Copies of this chain bind each other. A is one copy, B any other.
Amino acid sequence: MAIATNRTRAGRPAPEPTLASSVLDRLRAEIVKGTLAPGTKLRLEHLAPSYGVGRTPLREACCRLAAEGLVTIEDQRGFRVAPVSAADLQDLTRTRQQVAQLALRSSIQRGNSVWEDQVTAALQRLVARGRQGVTRRLDDAWEHDHGLFHDALLSACDSPLLLRFHRQLFEQSERYRRLATAYGQPTRDVEGEHQALAAAALGRDAERACALVVEHISRTTDRVLECHPGLRRDELSTK
């Protein structure tokens, strides 16, 4: 039941990852995490040494990230971290709400007992992580478990395409989320929202579950806009 990141043909000895693939993951993580700020120019010659690789694998990683939407390409002018803007955040929010609903409905309808266990387990981990202090330095781990929880919720959905889209949207959203948590108060009652969401899903109440995710996503976005009123003027996207 490995994560479907690497499509390995069954029976193959699982080829070791190429340099480009590993740097791809690292790059994506740094962009999502915010270490590489939105709009930053990705000068390969400068990045290559810091990653300990040549420019070729980096270039490959950037290309893939461009198709994922986390990086923009401008011919003859290289790559840069995709900018953020209020319009983009709004689009992201609505699209994610819609895609998440579709996937969630499917997952709730098809989920079996294994799925239920995965959901409850993921929820357990998440609240456990929440308890042990919301120190800033733990955000990475929390965000990780947060992603796993949402993945678990949708894991019974049988549409790889929907799941792929959802993952992309989730990652792009995480970029904005980080902008809020970097500032903000400990948080609102995310715990409660997650628990209610899981309960509705496990209770096979698709309508309620959908309503809850939609609101969950909306609240997160509101929180982001609250912490960054400047986003309304696209000030972060310029430089």
Chain A residues in the interface with B (C-beta under 8 A): 6-9, 15-18, 21, 56, 59-60, 63-69, 72, 74-77, 91-92, 94-95, 98, 102, 158-162, 164-165, 169
Most buried by B among A6, A59, A60: A60
Q: Which residue of B lies closest to A8 (CB)?
A: B74
Q: Find A169's partner among B15, B95, B161 (CB 8 Å cutoff).
A: B161
**9 new A-B contacts at CB < 8 Å, known A7-B72, A69-B164, A91-B161:** A6-B75, A16-B75, A18-B75, A59-B60, A64-B66, A67-B68, A95-B159, A98-B102, A161-B169
**Bound complex: CA A65 to CA B6 (Å):** 16
A interface majority secondary structure: helix
Q: Could you say which residues of chain B place their CB within 8 Å of the CB of A169?
A: 161
**Bound complex: CA A96 to CA B69 (Å):** 20
Q: Could you say which residues of chain B place their CB within 8 Å of the CB of A60?
A: 59-60, 63
A63 to chain B, nearest CB (A): 4
A176 to chain B, nearest CB (A): 14
Q: Which residue of B lies closest to A160 (CB)?
A: B91
